[in-house]
Amino acid sequence: MRNSTLSIALALLASPVLASSSGWVIKDTNPDKSTVFRQISHKPTIKPEQKRTTDFPTHVIHMSRDISAYNIGCFEAFDTIFDVINLDNDEITFQFGAICSTSTEQRAQQLSFYISMDPATDKGINDLQQFITKYSGADIYGEPMNIETVKGVVVVLEMNAGIQTEGDEGDSSLHPSAWTDNGLYFNNLYAMDNGLITDISGKLGTNNPELVNSFLSQWTRPEEVSSFAESLFSSNYIQIEPKTVFLMDSGASVYKPLFSYNIVLDCREYPSGMCLG
């Protein structure tokens, strides 16, 4: 069974990969010279029998503050966070996103960042518990670090299907013809990754009518399954945006991560050139 080409990127960080080692991916971009974005992700490669057997909540760290008094650049500001937080673990899924505004002298002004952590194995659960004990209250730019528990993850799943065309300069354009959305709930990001995200490539991106319909039946609104499936016979791409909101255990009731995922399934490699048929 073949799968369509799968491309996953953060919506605000469509940038080249600067570093990738042992499952770590780092992306930086500086689109307007006054704002710098950084995203770092790490997803462990584990065997099915290594998957965790105990439910455990997602944990997040997030902060936003003025750091102009430190007289440093944005990339140095990002690096300083990792000097304080040493999370190098092959048992934990890790996401970091940051936005930093700069002065005309390229000095960091306002810094906002978040980190999410989910153990992939039972050992990872123990490792994360030790991390929380060790780093809770650690100083980051004059503020104590608060590692918060996520009670649940609400996902607004938006999907567009249509035709992707190539321009004269080699750039591509998406022309949507069908759209659907649905609200979903997961106990944690681990459940979302092993359910929804796995099914996007394993079912929706297969061109197999049975698997595609299984995906749509499970993850979209019942009244929209038939019409969206029908649109895939004349679509050569599907764009999926799972927008997450964390339900917090304490403090503010909700927290919305700085960035959202943008997943594109390219179906043009199939004999029909379409996502179904």
Question: According to the model, what pLDDT value does residue 4 have?
Answer: 56
Neighbours of 241 (CB within 10 A): 17
Q: Which two tokens stand for residue 141?
A: 């730019």
Residue 70: its pLDDT value, please? 94
- 3-class state of residue 218 by DSSP: helix
Residue 274 — pLDDT band, cuts 50, 70, 90? very high
DSSP state of 212: H
Query: What radius of gyration, in Å, describes the C-alpha atoms of the chain?
Result: 20
Q: Quick: pLDDT tens for 67-108.
A: 999 999 999 999 888 888 877 788 999 898 999 999 888 899
Q: How many CB atoms lie within 10 A of CB 215?
A: 20
3-state helix vs strand vs coil in the chain, percent to 5 = 25, 40, 35
Strands 172-186 and 237-248: unpaired
- Looking at residue 60, what DSSP letter applies? E
Q: What is the pLDDT of residues 165-210, one digit of tens each?
A: 876 555 567 777 788 889 999 999 999 999 999 999 899 999 999 9
The pLDDT, as a whole number, for residue 188 is 97
Residues constituting the chain: 277
- pLDDT tens digits, one per residue of 216-235: 999 999 999 999 999 999 99
pLDDT for 231: 94
pLDDT digits (tens, 9 = 90+) for 37-66: 988 888 888 898 999 999 999 999 999 999
The band of 17, judged by pLDDT with boundaries at 50, 70 and 90, is very low
Supply the pLDDT for residue 11: 40
Contact 1, 208 (CB under 8 A): yes
Count other C-beta atoms under 10 Å from residue 60's C-beta: 21
Write the pLDDT tens digit of every residue in 238-257.
999 999 999 999 888 999 98
Domain boundaries of the chain, sorted by first residue: 5-149, 151-266
Contact 235, 163 (CB under 8 A): yes
Is the pLDDT at 22 greater than 70? The verdict is no
pLDDT band at 258, cuts 50/70/90?
Answer: confident
* Euclidean distance between CA atoms 54 and 32, whole angstroms: 45
- Output the pLDDT for position 8: 43
The whole-number pLDDT of residue 170 equals 54
pLDDT given at position 13: 34
3-state secondary structure of 105: coil
pLDDT digits (tens, 9 = 90+) for 126-168: 999 999 999 999 999 999 999 999 999 999 999 999 998 876 5
